[in-house]
Structure 1
């Protein structure tokens, strides 16, 4: 049976499950990460912020770089702000089986994003697909900072751009640092800056009905439930629904469960734990969730400078649904 989206899209050229770990362990690891990544708060400012920018699908050349923001996903960081405005959200494993987000903004800049947290080594490879992206993060392991400075991106940590960050006294540190994107980018660069390799358009043939899909990390879980009324996937984290905060609720049109190799990074946290390194260059299996259905695909990213292509078994490119995309990196076993 041929399944199609409600409206025709267009092609845009773009550049493990494991059992749950006891809650006490997750909380302890989250606390250790917090202690290791905390940074002195920037000067507090008033709450005046720029009005919300309308979503725009540009068709001409990019006006500038995308904005990438590392966003906290420890339980104490929720609800996050600004994830609803992201064009792409990458879900990444971090130490202790927890998770963190890399939110990418090109067509819309929210008023606030956060809580902002630290960068990881594999972020540098992931971001090579974009043209000198601006990377907002709270800090990084000291030995990683020189690699960040040499990477083809624009580092914008809080110590270099203090006017772009503000702390919320109502929330505990370090889960209270927020970015004001308009202090880093004058305007969103447009859809052509999203050099991800993703194609958007009609749904592929086949697939199977999948009203709900859960992805588990050792100390975190994500459940995506299809909502026919909204035409989007509703997100639950660790069994609880994601509430709206400082804007709308993140509801992706497409969810990609991308099976990747995860190895130990060369860098460790202050407790001596190796940070996981997500190998986003290579190939493997994935599932594309759209329109309440799941499609088994193959992903391929030939080089760090290239985007990721999803293909069906016969080699046909697989389209994503128009709208926000969440990519959940999960370990290949």
Structure 2
């Protein structure tokens, strides 16, 4: 039986007080090079911009989601950018969020503002309840104060697998442009120290940058050069960026990954490209693309439409090994390489001492340590 058809595929997310619905609305304006810029806002879902099939949809929407799942359903698929920890605000409700077509998701909530501290906790609680399916990231970091480094180190020691999404630059968004903890550019505030911390813990750092050209991108490239051991994921890299621009960035910076929001290219009317346009770039850099839904923001049909776009991307790739990598193996590799933290190891040593056992912890990964602590009720 396909694992996505069983009831166990459902996900219970514990809610965080004060969390709000998180969405990403895309605004466009002309850049000097003629491309459009990306903006994002945090608004109720009802404020999503109207959406209609883009030109890309007419060439890629040839199979239903059910048909695509039947074809690729046994392939491990990871949603590498999901805001659903911020989808609800009422602690008394425990909604059942059904992700039957997705094996795992990178989960966080609000972005670069105090409320993100609470949605980070919601993501962690979801992980504790579903460690085989949830990859918790955190974004409740004050990027303008040294306290943000302490918050980040504590979260990484606890067992979070990545940092972000962080608003490293935003000028086009009427909300993200003014959130309390955003920086002016990717080398502003404590971000340089955050890059060092991410490298120390070998975790990826997911950055929102708009516009995706000009000065903000110049500073991103400065950061990529200055911190070559840091893995940075460019959030929704395909939104208002041409395949040639994405190719150039990846070619120049081996520590950069591209988060590919397939739903934007396939179905958002703001897209001027088709999924097929990015295939040559993915073939050139097969190890540095990850797929995501961005929780389906801006798409008629929402999350499920974004999932459909992920499957459509797999379908146009063609190459079996390339499909496997981009579907989930690339993100999984970023998780699997992380070793258990000192905090996790100390907790496990105490458990072993109490149980009168001693296990070899020398090669324990963060994911393995997390499973041990969750099972023991100590995570």
**Given the two structures, how large is their TM-score scaled by the length of structure 2?**
0.24
Q: Which has the larger radius of gyration?
A: 2
Which structure shows the higher helix fraction? 2
> Larger RCO: Structure 1 or Structure 2 (Cα < 8 Å, ≥ 6 residues apart)?
1
**Given the two structures, how large is their TM-score scaled by the length of structure 1?**
0.27
Which structure shows the higher strand fraction? 1
